Amino acid sequence: MLTLLDGPLGTELIARGVSCPAPLWSAAALETAPDLVRAVHAEYADAGAVVHTANTFRTSRRAAGPAWPRLTRQAVALAREAAPTGRVAGSLAPLEDCYRPDLSPPDARDEHALLARCLADAGVDLLLCETFPHLGEALAAAQACVATGVETWVSFTAGPDADLLTPEDVARGAREVVHAGAVAVLVNCVPADRTLAFLKPLVGLGVPFGAYANAGPASIGIGWSPSADGPARYADHVEDWVALGATLIGSCCGCGPAHTRELKRRFGGR
């Protein structure tokens, strides 16, 4: 049985006219447009998603400053209100930049532990360490999350050009985080047409695996702007992932509720 994840918040909010400046990125909308954050979560739920990632990708102390606990709790509450029958995932991102592994701090576990504990206390159903291009930081985040006792998933990224990690790197990182206690491994924010190569090394890992890819360049028409066949073309790539054995399926930057709806129509899931 497939588990259908939601899609992106940041690029979807931007597409609806919400400013998402650094360093808060999508978390800025918790202050400026909380009702729209809730509405996007609700649209993904209506489209069929059953795992909803709270808008905590950038609510770490490093990114959000003194307001970080309040923003974290608010993000979890909004997801829960919008999707009361789904599972809410607390998102933990790289402390610096998800496309700059060279900026990952050498000792990140304590900072990740702060957010992990706050998310656990806010009542998330699982912790999702996502968009990690640095294996060491991914492991540190996973260890911090596992220590809370909350179910922990880890997702790696090779970035928009699929060159930040190799498939072999992802395989090595996956083994490390599973050994640390993670119960699922994913790949995200790699272009949909480049994702399969990063999933192949996860076969036989012994835990559920999957992907939520980005739409790739706007020129190919899978996402970023309304396209009649974009969601179907995204789902065509997902066919290959499912055939490989992936059971955790969603979408990332440039996609939206229409992609989730097509995945639900095509694959069902729970």
CATH number at 229 reads 3.20.20.330
Give the domain extent around 148: 3-267
Residue 116 CA neighbour count, 13 Å, CB half: 29
Paired tokens of 44? 């993904």
Torsions phi, psi for 34 (to 5 deg): -60, -35
Residue 225 pLDDT exceeds 90: no
Residue in the structure block whose two tokens are 């066919």:
239
Residue-by-residue DSSP string for 233-265: HHHHHHHHHHHHT--EEEE-TT--HHHHHHHHH
Strand-pairing partners, residue 210, are: 186, 248
How many whole angstroms separate alpha carbon 123 and alpha carbon 118?
9
| Mean pLDDT on 82-86 | 97
pLDDT at 249 over 80: yes
* pLDDT tens sequence across 135-152: 999 999 999 999 999 999
Query: If you average pLDDT over every residue of the chain, what do you get?
Result: 97
Q: What domain count does the chain have?
A: 1
Q: Where are the beta strands (DSSP E) in 171-219?
A: 184-191, 209-214
| Cα(247)–Cα(5) distance, integer angstroms | 10
